[in-house]
Amino acid sequence: MSSSSRTNRELFINGILNENPIFRLALSMCPAVGISTTVMNGILLGIAVLFVQVFSSCTISLIRNHIHPRIRIPTYTLTIATWVTVIDLVLAAFFPTAYKSLGIFVRLIVVFCFITCRLDVFAARNRLFPSCIDALGMGCGFLLGMVVVGGVRELLGMGTLLGYNILGFRPMFFFALPAAGFFTIGFMTAAFNHMETVYNRKKSTSRGSAASGAGL
Amino acid sequence: MRRSFKISFLLIVMMICVLSGKCRAGDRFIRNSAFKGDRQIIVTFAGPVSDVWANDISNFTVNEKPDPDIMLEIEDSTLSLDKTSLVFTFKDPLNREVPHCLTLKQIIADGRSQGTATVTLRKNYLAHLFSVFLGAVLIQNFVFVKYLGLCVFLGVSQKKSTAVGMGITFTIVIVFASMLSWFLYRFVLKPYHLDFLQVIVFIGLVSLTVQGIDTVLRKVNPALFKSFGVYLVLVISSCIILAVPLMLAANDYDMFESLMLSLGAGVGFLLALFLMASVRERLELANVPTPFRGMPIAFIITGLFALSFMGFSGMSLF
């Protein structure tokens, strides 16, 4: 994970593709299942996560030389908790209806593993600017994942996207049910795994060990 | 010894605080009040009351305790033949999960006013506690219905023995952590209007609890620590451990309700882990299509469980 050899663009893309929190790392699935019934919910939570990730990465990156290694995890948690409180209050004040639909999940951003993971792996070892780019990439990756899952569920379940009627009918209302989040993610990861094996089979000459998406 | 003495002292103080807050505001003249069916409330008086007073609906107001400004519409009040019990019928079904406040203005009996009385109606308290517990285990199971704690759930549900170990550790930690946070919220955060610090305080408390249990267990029972210590670190990364204190704060639960909810959350998580582990052990022998191996099939199984747990919704025991 050394940053010096990687350009900013690679850092940004890394969070979106190679280490996408939802599809590749399979971390923080709770919101992806719980509130991804519509695209709008996905976008809102994604933006909240993006803010928290960027701000806490910047904070940790700035104070990284003053953190004693033994108390680093509590420091990360408290930093994230502070920024989550800020976002929580801002959302509650300016977007009360959206805040209500997100429910408890805004506050639960504190325990999303990939944010802490990013702070430990990247922000604590790199300067401000690369940490910021890396955080932006991870945040956007999460946002993208939520939007894709939300989009599939909303399109298949209600026949709409962002509230606009696209299909004019409801192909599979089942997907709008809360429990269908598990099926959506299950089938999507399976589809990604399949595409990956096909892709690897085609390029099997040089790249031997592409990370398997099936691992935890 | 001194340590256990301190803890028991703390518990007694907590009990007194809770019990003193729970005294019912009632009137001497009202003997009993209870829900009757879906949309009726029955009030029993110590003596016969005036039927003119009893048949005038404007003498009575009923509201749900959390919303004192929304009055429920009384359709009819009927006095029994011996004039000692009064039945109110409401337009809409009552939500019996919520305590109700019933105000009777200027009760007239024996030709004179007996004063205004306010009574609080609630379900049988023990039954209510049990329904909170069962609600957290089955009806609102944190994994299958609320979709929380999935990372840990999918991570440790490979083997039954691991699942049970994790479930037990989790239950112990969550009960301790949520009781602590309930205490802090009720007596520190709320009186001093520090509600906005909830997230920071609760996550700090949870980490402290985990660290505390870790230290105590390591010293007191190393054998137990060897088998359960691994899970302690994992517990903190589960959303449920933070969600329960937040829910307690949002719903303003009292001490026993909090205890029941946190216990229910732990037992529900244990149940979910055990069910999932049982299926996954079988799954090792099954011929799963290649792209579905690993995470995808685990998700689909969880989805099937979630669907079947939807069957519990709307269940009410009391």
- What token pair was written down for B250? 């949002």
Task: Please report the pLDDT score of residue B112 as a whole number.
Answer: 77
Q: Residue A80 in contact with residue A109, Cβ under 8 Å?
A: yes
A216 domain-assigned: no
Task: Please report the pLDDT score of residue B223 as a whole number.
Answer: 83
- Counting DSSP H helices and E strands in chain A, the numbers are 8, 2
Is some CB atom of chain A closer than 8 A to the CB atom of B15? no
Task: Please report the pLDDT score of residue B178 as a whole number.
Answer: 93
Q: Residue A54 in contact with residue A132, Cβ under 8 Å?
A: yes
Parent domain of A33: 8-202
Chain B nearest-CA distance from A73, in A, is 10
Chain B nearest-CA distance from A4, in A, is 31
A209 domain-assigned: no
Nearest to B247 by CA among B123, B132, B99, B128: B132
Task: Please report the pLDDT score of residue A52 as a whole number.
Answer: 93
CB-CB under 8 Å, B307 with A179: yes
A176 domain-assigned: yes
The domain tally of chain A equals: 1
| Sign of the C-alpha dihedral computed for residues B80, B82, B83 and B84 taken in this order | negative
Q: Residue B166 in contact with residue B230, Cβ under 8 Å?
A: no
Task: Please report the pLDDT score of residue A205 as a whole number.
Answer: 58
A131 domain-assigned: yes
- Nearest residue of A to residue B293, measured between CA atoms: A214
Q: Residue B39 in contact with residue B92, Cβ under 8 Å?
A: yes
For residue A33, give the nearest of B150, B237, B296 by CB distance.
B150
Rounded to an integer, what distance in angstroms lies between the CA atom of residue B275 and that of residue B175?
Answer: 22
Chain A nearest-CA distance from B158, in A, is 12
pLDDT for A16-40, tens place per residue? Answer: 777 777 777 777 777 778 777 788 8
Q: Residue B146 in contact with residue B239, Cβ under 8 Å?
A: no
Q: For residue A143, how many other CB atoms are within 10 A of its CB? A: 22
Q: Is the pLDDT of residue A146 over 50?
A: yes
* Residue B34 phi, psi dihedral angles, 5° rounding: -155, 160
A211 domain-assigned: no
Q: How far is CA B284 from CA A46, A62, B117, B270, in A?
A: 35, 47, 66, 21
CB-CB under 8 Å, A111 with B239: yes
The SS3 call for residue B121 is strand
The SS3 call for residue B284 is coil
Terminal Cα-to-Cα distance of chain A (whole angstroms): 19
Average pLDDT, chain A: 82
According to DSSP, the residues that pair with B33 across neighbouring strands are: B43
Choose the mutation target among B200, B251, B288 for the interface with A, i.e. most A CBs under 10 Å: B200
Nearest to B300 by CA among A181, A86, A215: A181
Contacts of B147 in chain A (CB under 8 A): 30, 33-34, 178, 181
Identify the band that residue A125 occupies on the pLDDT scale cut at 50, 70 and 90.
confident
CB-CB under 8 Å, B298 with A77: no
Nearest to A84 by CA among B35, B263, B245, B198: B198
- What token pair was written down for B32? 């009993």
Q: Residue B101 in contact with residue B63, Cβ under 8 Å?
A: yes
Chain pair A-B, CB pairs under 8 angstroms:
125
* Residue B18 phi, psi dihedral angles, 5° rounding: -65, -45
A207 domain-assigned: no
What ipTM describes this predicted complex?
Answer: 0.82
Task: Please report the pLDDT score of residue B75 as a whole number.
Answer: 82
Task: Please report the pLDDT score of residue A14 as a whole number.
Answer: 79
CB-CB under 8 Å, B151 with A29: yes
Q: Which long-range contacts (CB under 8 A, 24 or more apart) does B210-215 make?
A: B210/B173, B210/B177, B210/B235, B210/B236, B213/B172, B213/B173, B213/B176
Chain B nearest-CA distance from A32, in A, is 9
A3 domain-assigned: no
Q: For residue B203, how many other CB atoms are within 10 A of its CB? A: 25
Element (H, E) at A24: none
Residues of A with CB under 8 A from a CB of B: 26-30, 33-34, 74, 77-78, 81-82, 84-85, 88-89, 104, 107-108, 110-111, 113, 177-183, 185-187, 189-191, 193-194, 197, 212-216
The SS3 call for residue B44 is strand
Rounded to an integer, what distance in angstroms lies between the CA atom of residue B15 and that of residue B21?
Answer: 10
Is some CB atom of chain A closer than 8 A to the CB atom of B58? no
- Residues of B (196-215) whose Cβ lies below 8 Å from A: 196-200, 203-204, 207
Rounded to an integer, what distance in angstroms lies between the CA atom of residue B77 and that of residue B57?
Answer: 7
Identify the band that residue A5 occupies on the pLDDT scale cut at 50, 70 and 90.
low
Q: For residue B284, how many other CB atoms are within 10 A of its CB? A: 9
Domains and CATH numbers, chain B: 30-121 (2.60.40.1220), 126-312 (no CATH)
Task: Please report the pLDDT score of residue B103 as a whole number.
Answer: 83
Task: Please report the pLDDT score of residue A51 as a whole number.
Answer: 93
| Neighbour-count burial of B35, counting CB atoms closer than 10 A to its CB (0-12 exposed, 13-18 middle, 19+ buried) | middle
Mind listing the pLDDT tens digit of every residue in chain B (318 residues)?
Answer: 556 666 666 666 565 555 444 434 346 777 777 787 778 888 888 888 888 888 888 888 888 877 777 888 888 888 888 888 888 888 888 777 777 888 888 888 777 777 787 877 777 778 888 888 998 999 889 989 888 888 888 888 888 888 888 899 899 999 999 999 999 999 999 899 888 888 899 998 988 888 888 888 889 888 888 877 778 877 887 889 999 999 998 888 889 999 999 999 999 999 999 999 999 999 888 888 888 888 889 999 999 999 999 888 877 665
